[in-house]
A and B are shown apart, each in its own frame.
Chain A
């Protein structure tokens, strides 16, 4: 089955720094989502990005489907960006989704 790997597993930043999170997948996809799980556990939908680039404020995401990866950029990080970031991909021909293992981000004040 499709494999989804995220890197780095952990990241510590000083407030104001920029970062890039990566999601690699082993098969072609027609859908990819990025989520932020805040310290209270709520999963927030950041981007639905099967291909190309999207931006939302300080966050942007790029998916290169042909090369089987997606990147999440966080610029001018804030302490509220702390939490775990997941990418998720639907399994082709099914109604199921597979999640990556996540990147745990901590932004220090």
Chain B
């Protein structure tokens, strides 16, 4: 069966520091992968999606970037964090029937 991992689970970072969040999917190949952000008490905002290695689309202009170094690995990065980057970051993949499955998330607090 397929499993999606995210790490770290929680992260507290100072403003201006770099960021790297990792998402890995097991049990499938060439998945469509997604990064979402959820602010406290709010809905999900799509940040990036990728339909293959080196095929990444950005949905929201911001100081975040995404990379896909391997087929089943999706990385969310920032060179300098802002206070507004705080939130809950969720990675998801799409099964062939277009069902979405989410990872456990990373809770990021920028101070």
Interface residues of A (CB under 8 A from B): 31, 33, 35, 41-43, 45, 48, 86, 88, 90, 95-97, 99-102
Contacts and interface: CB of A to CB of B under 8 A. Distances in A.
Interface string B68-109: 000000000000000000001010101001111110110100
A106 to B, nearest CB: 13
B59 interface: yes
A42 B104 CA distance: 5
Contact of B100 (A88, A100, A101, A102): A88
Interface residues on B, range: 20 to 34
B32 A95 contact: yes
Contacts of B43: 86, 99-102
B49 interface: yes
B49 A41 contact: no
Nearest to A100: B43
Contacts of A90: 98
Nearest to B55: A95
A78 B90 CA distance: 26
B46 A97 contact: yes
Contacts of B104: 41-42
Contact of A45 (B32, B59, B99): B99
A41 B88 CA distance: 8
A41 B107 contact: yes
A90 B100 CA distance: 10
Contacts of A41: 38, 88, 90, 104-105, 107
Contacts of A96: 46, 49, 59
A28 to B, nearest CB: 15
Contacts of A86: 43-44
A48 B97 contact: yes
A90 B38 CA distance: 18
Nearest to B33: A95
Interface centre among A31, A43, A100 (most CB of B within 10 A): A43
